[in-house]
Amino acid sequence: MEFEPVLTRNLGVPNIGDLKVYQSRGGYEALRQALASPRNELKQTVKDSGLRGRGGAGFFAGVKWDFLPADHPGPFYLVVNFDESEPGTFKDRYLCDIDPHQILEGVIVTAYINRIDTAYIFIRGEFHHQAEVLQRTIKQAYKEGLLGKNILSSDYSLECVLHRGAGAYICGEETGMLEALEGKRGWPRLKPPYPAVAGAFGQPTVINNVETLCCVPPIIQRGADWFKSMGTKKSTGPKLYGISGHVNRPGVVELPLGVPCRELIEKHAGGVRDSKRCKGVIPGGVSMGVLTRDELDCPLDFEGPPRYGCMGLGTAGVIVMDEDTCMVTALRNIVRFFAHESCGQCTGCREGSGWMLQILNRLLGGQGRGRDLELLLDLADAQGMAPGKTICGLSDGTAWAARTFINKYRSEFEAKVSTRDRVAV
Amino acid sequence: MVWQAETRQAPLTPPEEPALDDKLRRQIRAMFKQYPTKRAVLLPALHRIQQQHRCLSPQALAEVAELLELSPAEVMDTASFYDMYSTTPRGRHVIGVCESLSCELCGGGELLTALRDKLGVEPGQTTADGKFTLITMQCLGACDFAPAVLIDETLYKCVTTEQLDEILGALD
Ligand SMILES: Cc1cc2nc3c(=O)[nH]c(=O)nc-3n(C[C@H](O)[C@H](O)[C@H](O)COP(=O)(O)O)c2cc1C
Ligand code: SF4
Ligand code: FES
């Protein structure tokens, strides 16, 4: 069956950022439909659709919404995660570039379902242009009665505020984001309590990624079964894949979840540049680890990458590296990123990433010592949330990248240990 | 013996006039109604101050603290956390070269070297004429246009070293 684009349905429509044009393409019909439906039914539809979060963790959206305390009198907040700072990821920016009203419709429908009073769209500070576009979009929506008091003459009211970040990857982590929203340094909070119970300003808060929210209106309009007809059993629906690095046609493509990595690169990104061979592929942002050239059959859905030793699908920001890439240099780049972005609260993450960077620099400078690879792996094991060693998942990214790069390209790393030391061990 | 404290800082000379002008104060106050706390206005307020003053001076931080009913230390605590805020003045144009993976794979490193040579400064430094500050940045969310450079508020896509003279020349 030919795949019919969902999130990119309005790609290339002239002036789609204009409300009238968006409406002429069926825009805000889902909102109308939602406002006339009971909230429970809508939430059930989203749950039945199997929609999973597109921000990195893949948590079921409808299930998360269920954690909001039913007896809370309000207020409830929605915080939209448009921080998009994971290296290799640019799909949310793309959504805003090709169809900004689509984002807002997703926000309003989701807010309605969850009885939200105020939605804060948290956009990373470096997205100057996109912030301007969204600000305009929000203004238009207020003017046309799609935001504010009594939306489309219903009894539902919603305020929407665009909030700009100020250059810190950690604010993509949902509780770091809440701290930034509250005017503090973006230090992730210890959980529990989870944001659904005590989030922004201490109130119950839904946090979702931009792409997740964009899936909601189509689900409301076309139903759970339609959504489930795309993708795999456990990873339903369409997905935006961002492809960058050594490919002929970098960019974003929308495909059903589960496309094999090889097909994505060969068919949708024009293959590896300069007719070179592929050496390794990062499946979903640099936090996830790496797939080797022999692992490219890996389906890019939520279950695929873990079967190949990676942490997960992540953001589906795929980075392709050709045969000439030095994997030690690539890992150094990734570790440098995490060392720079560590918020500093947890020792394993703050110190560990810095030490790892030093060791990698030493290896690349020809000064590698015999025990360095084990030391790197030890440091990776001393951080991360999965075994409960740190507050947030940032350092899991450091750990998974280091583990997979070193284990899968071991000989390349060993070759960097200075010959004198190699003999000695 | 008790530990003796010295005054390590010269007392702040009271400024002739406030760092934040009336318009800026009005703009900041206008944002109060969008949030349940005044403190939540801090990031947007700092953005506005930095945009107007090109840096966050101690005096401006103290004044914004007063406006938001915070202590100056709380404001400093937040301001110092974020890369986009600078407490020292930057050049007229800030050139940010992305140093993350996709850009590095596509020649971001060479671009940075070329800029260093052309401007004669290291990342973090400002040219002597105060025109350019060169910085490195983490992934700009524009990896489809690697290597990417952010100059002030404008994204430059797929930049080559050959284009640098033209790009720099067009900035006043
Ligand atoms: C270090 C770190 C950075 C993150 N950055 C982002 C981000 O930029 N955008 C995003 O949507 N989610 C990001 N997340 C995931 C969020 O914490 C959260 O899971 C997500 O916003 C939930 O939305 P979803 O369920 O719709 O995916 C990050 C997580 C961590 C640990
Ligand atoms: S794991 Fe790292 S980024 Fe996360 S809270 Fe701890 S120190 Fe901060
Ligand atoms: S790696 Fe440079 S923009 Fe993403």
Across B91-112, average pLDDT: 97
Which residues face A253 on adjacent strands?
A: A241
Q: Per the structure block, which two tokens stand in for B77? A: 């605590």
Determine contact: B106 vs chain A, CB below 8 A: yes
Chain A contact set for B34 (CB, 8 A): 159, 161
User: Looking up tokens 């699908």, which residue turns up?
Assistant: A313
Within chain A, how many helices (H) and strands (E) appear? 17, 9
Residues A280-292 have a mean pLDDT of: 97
The answer to whether the Cβ–Cβ distance between A245 and B155 falls below 8 Å is no
Tens of pLDDT along B22-53? 999 999 999 999 999 999 999 999 999 999 99
Sheet bearing A159-164, strands edge to edge: A159-164, A118-123, A77-82, A205-209
Contact B134, A109 (CB under 8 A): no
* Residue A37: closest CA among A307, A223, A202, A269: A223
Q: What does the pLDDT look like over A89-102, one tens digit per residue?
A: 999 999 999 999 99
Average pLDDT rounded to a whole number, residues A248-270: 98
**pTM reported for the whole predicted model:** 0.96
Q: How far is the CA of A341 from the centre of ligand 3 (A)?
A: 15
Q: Which of B37, B48, B81, B90 to mutate to probe the A interface, most A CBs <10 Å?
A: B81
Ligand 2 pocket, residues with Cβ under 6 angstroms? A 170, 188, 342-346, 349-350, 390-392, 394-395
Could you tell me the two tokens for A270? 């024009």
Q: With contacts defined as CB-CB under 8 Å, which chain B residues touch A86?
A: 139
Q: How far is the CA of A315 from the centre of ligand 1 (A)?
A: 9
Quick one: pLDDT at residue A387? 73
Contact (Cβ atoms closer than 8 angstroms) between residue A354 and residue A278: no
Whole-number Å distance, alpha carbon A75 to ligand 3 midpoint, is 38
Q: Which domains does chain A have, with CATH numbers?
A: 19-228 (3.40.50.11540), 238-322 (3.10.20.600), 327-424 (1.20.1440.230)
- Looking at residue A278, what is its pLDDT? 97
Distance from residue A86's CA to the centre of ligand 2 (Å): 15
Q: What residues form DSSP beta bridges with A120?
A: A79, A161
Question: From atom 4 of ligand 2, which residue's Cα is the shortest distance away?
Answer: A392
A159, A183, A337: residue with CB nearest B42: A183
- Interchain contact, A89 vs B141, CB within 8 Å: yes
B111 CB less than 6 Å from ligand 3?
A: no
Measure CA of the first residue to CA of the last residue in chain B; give whole Å: 60
Q: CA A1 to CA A4: how far, in whole Å?
A: 9
The CB of B105 under 6 Å from ligand 3? The reply is no
A80-101 burial, b if ≥16 CB within 10 A, otherwise e? Answer: bbbbbbbbbbbbbbbbbebbbb
pLDDT > 70: percent of chain A? 98
Q: What is the whole-number distance in angstroms between the Cα of residue A93 and the centre of ligand 1?
A: 15
Q: Helix, strand, coil: what percent of chain A each, to 5?
A: 45, 15, 40
Taking residues A228-247, what's their average pLDDT? Answer: 98
Q: For residues A312 and A285, give the distance between their C-alpha atoms in angstroms, rounded to a whole number.
A: 10
Q: Identify which of B103, B106, B145, B150 to mutate to test ligand 3's pocket (most ligand atoms within 8 A of the CB).
A: B103
Is the confidence at residue B1, as pLDDT, over 50? no
Which residue's alpha carbon is at the smallest distance from atom 29 of ligand 1? A173
Answer whether A310's CB lies under 8 Å from A290's CB. Answer: yes
Q: What is the arithmetic mean of pLDDT over A212-224?
A: 98
Structure tokens at A17: 């950022």
Are A257 and A302 contacting, i.e. CB atoms less than 8 angstroms apart? yes
Give A212's contacts (C-beta < 8 A, 6+ positions apart). Answer: A51, A52, A53, A54, A55, A61, A106
- Ligand closest to CA A195: 1
Whole-number Å distance between alpha carbons of A90 and A130: 12
A126-177 tens-digit pLDDT = 999 999 999 999 999 999 999 999 999 999 999 999 999 999 999 999 999 9
Is residue B34 within 8 angstroms of chain A, CB to CB?
A: yes
The answer to whether the Cβ–Cβ distance between A242 and B138 falls below 8 Å is no
- Cα distance between residue B39 and residue A405, in whole Å: 43
Answer whether B49's CB lies under 8 Å from B56's CB. Answer: yes
Q: Return mean pLDDT, chain A.
A: 96
Residues 6 or more apart whose Cβ sits within 8 Å of residue A173: A186, A188, A392, A393, A394
